[in-house]
Structure 1
Amino acid sequence: MLKIFKIIAFLEGISLLALFFIAMPMKYFMDKPELVGPVGMAHGLLFIAYIVMATVLKFDEKWSWSKYFLICIASIIPFGTFYVEFKMLKTESPS
């Protein structure tokens, strides 16, 4: 399950960056809002999956509450999920 969470964390990070740095600038600077809907929907679904999986893993992997909250907060910071994936979950064995 940890391996799936790492994949979701990576995809959620990519979707956040795509929303912030591609779709939204196209909407506001080029008057082309076409990408905001699909990219925003993908990001929303990946965000929900990330939080749900983090919650499940909090109990399965016996994470401390502080680690769990840091992992959840990382999902709203650009590049935060990449940090979680590569640094905070690096030493844990995949299940």
Structure 2
Amino acid sequence: MDIKTASALHRLRLVSVPEALSFPALLIFGSLLSRISDIDYLMMPLGGLHGILFLVYVVFLLDVWNKAKWPAKKAALFFLLALLPFGGLYGDKLLKREETASVMAARARREAASA
């Protein structure tokens, strides 16, 4: 993997945690709030925010899938983790390993080329 792949992995990691927390924190909280009070107007912006985070996650996932040359099963796993509440937190842990490995491989290649 090269440094572009590592940066794509890093971008995916940056959006995976907010996306993972947006479902339970925003949508469930907003749904409960609308049921116990008269505040119904919060659901539309909270749902929209979650939807935007999810779409950004999917776009970044497709970018990583393309650059890292992942098999379809691996990309499908990360997509399914995004559908589960808090699943993106586990996905972030897996992505951190991938990112570290790709940065180390890029550094090793660069050092080998300069030697």
Superposed pair shares fold, TM > 0.5: yes
User: What corresponds to 2:69 in structure 1?
Assistant: 62
| Bigger mean CA offset, 31-40 vs 55-64 | 31-40
User: What corresponds to 2:106 in structure 1?
Assistant: none
Q: Secondary structure at the match of 2:83?
A: coil
1:30 positional shift: 2.9
Q: If each structure's helix is expressed as a fraction of its own residues, which one has the higher value?
A: 2
User: Are the aligned partners of 1:18 and 1:39 in contact in 2 as well (CA < 8 Å)?
Assistant: no
Which residue identity lines up with residue 39 of structure 2 in the other structure? K
Q: Whole-Å Cα distance in 2 between the matches of residues 7 and 90 of structure 1?
A: 10
1:52 aligns with 2:51: no
User: What corresponds to 1:16 in structure 2?
Assistant: 23
1:32 positional shift: 2.1
Asked which structure has the greater CA Rg, the reply is: 2
Long gaps (5+) in structure 2: 1-7, 104-115
1:35 positional shift: 2.1
Identity of aligned residues (%): 28
- Alignment root-mean-square deviation, CA: 1.6
1:81 aligns with 2:83: no
Alignment match of 1:90 (pick from 88, 96, 105): 96
Long gaps (5+) in structure 1: none
1:25 positional shift: 0.9
User: What corresponds to 2:113 in structure 1?
Assistant: none
Which residue identity lines up with residue 46 of structure 2 in the other structure? V
* Structure-2-length-normalised TM-score: 0.73
1:50-75, CA deviations, whole angstroms, 9 ceiling, x for partnerless residues?
11110111010111111100101111
Alignment match of 1:6 (pick from 4, 13, 25): 13
- Count of aligned positions: 94
1:28 positional shift: 2.2
Which residue identity lines up with residue 56 of structure 1 in the other structure? D
User: What corresponds to 2:48 in structure 1?
Assistant: 41
Which residue identity lines up with residue 97 of structure 2 in the other structure? T
